Amino acid sequence: MPAAPPNKPKLVSLEAGRKYAWCSCGQSAAQPFCDGSHKGTDKTPIVFAAKHSGETLLCQCKETKSPPYCDGSHNNLDDGYELASIEEIEATKGAEDVARTGGKFGLSMLYGGAFALTPAPDDRCDDGDLQWAALINAANGAANLHVFEFTIGQETEWRVHDECDVVFFVASGAGAIEINGSRACLFSETGACVKRGEAFRFLPSETMYVIAAVSPGGGAFKKIARPSKTSIAINDRIVAVDPANRKSMADRFYQELVDHHAGAENITQFIGEVPKSRAAFHRHLYEEAIYIISGSGILWTRGSRTNVSAGDILYLPARQEHSLECTSDDGLRLMGVLYPSGSPAINY
């Protein structure tokens, strides 16, 4: 009998319109595809036609709730998240420790294109009604994700982004956001989605520090006199952290905040909680940006590492092999955004 399949998903290349048979019995020697080993059992393969050409992750643990595709269920097969092995730790002892370019502030560029950034307050642009800075963009190697920071201490003018949806995260402070004339309250650790072409402004009740992500592409925010459209319903666009909605990945937890349910077509925003540990090296098919809310740790890639702490921004290119180690006894709390949209639980 063929050996049981490994738990991690298999990266495969599919051709649009072509049909494939996915193994559901777990006995195929041609994982994740069927080789007929199910004969004589009550299992049958799932035949599916690929919607798009390109790479995707097919489930091999057979626990996915969206077969044949991986949904991250392999991360819950054990009590603990997969940690770095002794061999992996030994192999990275000589990794280059990359410091920030500006000493306390600046960029640490790691092998493979990943980086950590500690924003410098002096690098922010003063736009009159708010201060802002570009944190992640094509200039530092990002392919599609563009991330900005806003410091808002007064009611802002109306702005619009004509090219992309904008996903906001309130890292600290409180107030309200108005979108095309409709207003909603914002609190710390709240996410919000503004659709492409919609006008928005902030009305802080206290100074707000906001992270904004746009994708694909970048483009600029433009000031406008007033919204050209009538009021819209935006309650579903605002998503707050709710412990009742958090999901587990073994001993780690996450909650998806802004995704397609909140109107974001291309980005998924989430909150994550990581205990003191060092994850095994892994990859994602998506591009990812991470904002460290609290705690400290080390971002590893093959051959390089850098320290990270609260307030830092991390960038991971798609398919970048990496590991985020938490060194804080109280754990690491982070906000992440993914492009293209998907589940933060899916890795390989």
Residue 1 has pLDDT above 50, yes or no: no
Question: At residue 162, what is the residue type?
Answer: D
* 30 touches 65 (CB < 8 A): no
Q: Where are the domains of the chain?
A: 1-77, 90-98+242-339, 124-238
Q: Pick the range with the lowest mean pLDDT from 6-10, 211-215, 302-306.
A: 6-10
pLDDT of 11-69, one tens digit each? 999 999 999 999 999 999 999 999 999 999 999 999 999 999 999 999 999 999 999 99
Using the CB atoms, write b or e for 122-148: b if 16+ within 10 Å.
Answer: eebeeeeebbbbbbbbeeeebebbbbb
What is the pairing mode between strands 247-249 and 46-49? unpaired
pLDDT of residue 48: 98
Strand order in the sheet with 106-109: 106-109, 115-118, 313-316, 287-294, 332-339, 268-274, 252-256, 247-249
Give the separation between CA 259 and CA 296, rounded to whole angstroms: 27
CB atoms closer than 10 angstroms to residue 334: 23
Cα 223 versus chain centre, distance: 28
Q: Which of 121, 60, 83, 36 is nearest to 281 (CA)?
A: 83
Banded model confidence at residue 202, pLDDT cuts 50, 70, 90: very high
CB atoms closer than 10 angstroms to residue 118: 21
Mean pLDDT in the chain? Answer: 95
pLDDT of residue 248: 84
Cα 153 versus chain centre, distance: 28
User: 90-98+242-339 in CATH: which number?
Assistant: 2.60.120.10
- Collapsing DSSP to helix, strand or coil, 186 comes out as strand
* 24 touches 43 (CB < 8 A): yes
User: 124-238 in CATH: which number?
Assistant: 2.60.120.10
More confident position, 246 or 148: 148
Q: Where are the beta strands (DSSP E) in 115-188?
A: 115-118, 125-126, 131-136, 146-152, 158-160, 166-179, 182-186
What percent of the chain is modeled with pLDDT above 70?
A: 98
Q: Find residue 313's DSSP bridge partners.
A: 117, 291
Q: Which of 200, 248, 269 is nearest to 345 (CA)?
A: 248
Q: Which of 281, 278, 347, 276 is nearest to 74 (CA)?
A: 347
pLDDT of 274-317, one tens digit each? 999 999 999 999 999 999 999 999 999 999 999 999 999 999 99
Give the separation between CA 111 and CA 93, rounded to whole angstroms: 15
- Please give the model's pTM, rounded to 2 decimal places: 0.93
pLDDT of residue 229: 67
